[in-house]
Amino acid sequence: MAPAQYTRYVLNERPGRGPVNPRTFRKEVVPFDLKPGKGEILVQVLYLSLDPANRTWLNDARNYMEPVKIGETMRAGALGRVIQVGEGTKFAPGDLVNGTMGWTEYIIVPSKGYQKIVIPTGAELIDFLGPLGMNGLTAYFGLFNVGQIKAGETLVVSAAAGATGSIVCQLGKMVGAKVIAIAGADDKCQWLENELGVDKAINYKSPTFHADFKKAVGYFDVYFDNVGGDILNFALTRMKKHARIAFCGSISDYNATPKGLTNYMNIISQSAKLEGFIVFDYASQYSSALKDLTKWVSEGKLKRKFHLVQGLENASEALGLLFNGGNTGKLVVQVAPVDNAKL
Ligand SMILES: NC(=O)c1ccc[n+]([C@@H]2O[C@H](COP(=O)([O-])OP(=O)(O)OC[C@H]3O[C@@H](n4cnc5c(N)ncnc54)[C@H](OP(=O)(O)O)[C@@H]3O)[C@@H](O)[C@H]2O)c1
C-alpha cells in the first residue's frame, strides 16, 4: 500500500563559507502524490551516498554541476528500488537502481541514465556506492588515466582512509607501486598498513608530519590528492622530475577561503603536471573500468569499509563526518531497510 505521505529534505539556506549548519536543510513531509509519467520511474531510496562534493553543490557558484536551488530536494548519489514504472522504460518494479537521486524517501526520475544493478559474486548492494560506484571509478581513472601510475613508482595518496583514497591505495599496490598513505588518525594509519597493505601510512596531524613525509616518501612520482591546501602545498616541494599530481579533490578548503599555493613554481622546475579531473569526464569508459573493478571485488582483491548512518533525518549531521575525519571508508546513510523496500 502506498504511504499517505513521505519525507524529504530541501535546501533551506546556503551555508556561505562555513560548514553545513542546522538552518541549511529543512524537513518537509508531503502528500504521496508521486506517479511516474512516460519514460519515468518511481524509486524508493535505500542508501544515500554522502560525498564531500555535496558541500560544493550548496554554493551559488560555477561548478561541474548546477548548484542545488533553494527549496529543492538535496541532491545525492543513491541506490534505490523501483516501485512503479511509467510507459516505455527498461525497468520493472523490484529492480535495484543506481544514480542521482536525493535526500528523500521516494523520488521520480527519468529512467534514462539510471543503471539497473546486478550484484556480482563476492559483492553486495552497498558496493555500488563504493568500489563499484562513483568512488571506485574516480580512483580508477584518477590513478590510471590522470596519474599514469607505473610499477616501481612512488605513489602518495591523501585522505587515504576514505572512500576514494582507500581504493586508490589498493590499486596502487596492485600495479606494483610503492604506496605512502596520508590520513588524520593513528587507527586509520594502522588500518591502511595492516589491512590494505600500503608501504607506510603517516598522520598529517602529527607535529612531525613534514619530517615523516620526507623520510617515507623521499620524492614521489604520483600524488593522488583528495585534500588540497597545506598538504598539497608541501607536496609540491617533494616532486620527482616529471611527477604527476592527479588533483581529485580539495576537501580542506570546501568550508573555508582557500589560502593559495606558495610552492607552485616547483611545477615548472620539475617539469611536473598538476591535472584536475571530474570522474564524469570518463563516462564513456565506465563499462570497461567496471569490468576490472568487478573482477577485483569478486576475486577479493579490493577490501572496503562502510560507515553506515541510519535514517534520512541524520544525513545533514552525518555530512560533517567527512570534514572532521569521523568516517573510515565510504560514508552512507541508510534510508530504508533493503529487504523491505516496497509499497
Ligand atoms: N574529482 C572527482 O570526480 C571526485 C569524485 C569523488 C570524490 N572526489 C574528491 O575526493 C576527495 C575524497 O572524497 P571521498 O568521497 O572519498 O571522501 P572520504 O575520503 O571518504 O572522506 C573525506 C576524508 O577527508 C579527510 N579530510 C577532511 N578534512 C581534511 C583536511 N582539512 N585535511 C586533510 N584531510 C581531510 C578526512 O579523513 P582524515 O581523518 O584522514 O582527515 C575524511 O574522512 C574529496 O575531496 C572529494 O571531493 C572527487
State if residue 248 touches ligand 1 by the CB under 6 angstroms criterion: yes
> Which segments within the chain are labelled E, that is strand?
5-11, 25-31, 40-49, 75-85, 96-102, 106-110, 115-116, 154-157, 178-183, 200-203, 220-225, 239-247, 273-276, 306-310, 330-334
CA 35 – ligand 1 centroid, Å? 37
Please give the pLDDT value at position 1: 66
pLDDT at 267 over 90: yes
Residue-wise pLDDT for 279-327, tens only, equals 999 999 999 999 999 999 999 999 999 999 999 999 999 999 999 999 9
124 confidence band (pLDDT: 50, 70, 90): very high
Cell representation of residue 231: 598538504
Cell representation of residue 172: 596502487
Distance in angstroms between the alpha carbons of the first and the last residue of the chain? 5
Given ligand 1 and candidates 54, 141, 157, 164, which is best to mutate, with the most ligand atoms within 8 Å of its CB?
164
- Rounded to an integer, what distance in angstroms lies between the CA atom of residue 179 and that of residue 219? 12
pLDDT at 235 over 80: yes
118 φ/ψ angles, rounded to the nearest 5 degrees: -120, 115
341 confidence band (pLDDT: 50, 70, 90): very low
State if residue 52 touches ligand 1 by the CB under 6 angstroms criterion: yes
Of residues 50, 17, 219, the one with CA closest to residue 129:
50
92 confidence band (pLDDT: 50, 70, 90): very high
State if residue 209 touches ligand 1 by the CB under 6 angstroms criterion: no
Cell representation of residue 208: 612531525
H helices of the chain, in order, are 52-56, 134-140, 163-174, 186-194, 209-217, 229-235, 266-269, 286-298, 315-319, 321-324
Torsion of CA 310, 312, 314, 320, to 10 degrees: 100
The DSSP bridge partners found for residue 246 are 224, 275
pLDDT at 343 over 60: no
State if residue 167 touches ligand 1 by the CB under 6 angstroms criterion: no
Mean local confidence (pLDDT), 223-249: 98
Cell representation of residue 13: 539556506
Residue-wise pLDDT for 59-85, tens only, equals 999 999 999 999 999 999 999 999 999
State if residue 130 touches ligand 1 by the CB under 6 angstroms criterion: no
State if residue 232 touches ligand 1 by the CB under 6 angstroms criterion: no
Residue-wise pLDDT for 126-154, tens only, equals 999 999 999 999 999 999 999 999 999 99
Residue-wise pLDDT for 4-52, tens only, equals 999 999 999 999 999 999 999 999 999 999 999 999 999 999 999 999 9
pLDDT at 342 over 70: no
- Rounded to an integer, what distance in angstroms lies between the CA atom of residue 196 and that of residue 191? 7
- In order of 12, 56, 247, 250, 286, the CA distances from 256 in angstroms are 20, 11, 18, 11, 33
Closest ligand 1 atom number to CA of residue 253 = 31
Residue nearest atom 46 of ligand 1, based on CA coordinates? 249
Burial string for 222-259 (b: 16+ CB within 10 Å, else e) reads bbbbbbbbebbeebbebbbeebbbbbbbbbbbbbeeee
- Rounded to an integer, what distance in angstroms lies between the CA atom of residue 261 and that of residue 137? 28
pLDDT at 340 over 60: no
Residue-wise pLDDT for 171-230, tens only, equals 999 999 999 999 999 999 999 999 999 999 999 999 999 999 999 999 999 999 999 999
Residue nearest atom 25 of ligand 1, based on CA coordinates? 159
Q: Provide the residue type at 46 as one letter.
A: L
- Across the chain, mean pLDDT equals 96
Decide: 119 and 133 in contact? Cβ < 8 Å: no
Q: Which domains does the chain have, with CATH numbers?
A: 5-130+305-340 (3.90.180.10), 134-280 (3.40.50.720)
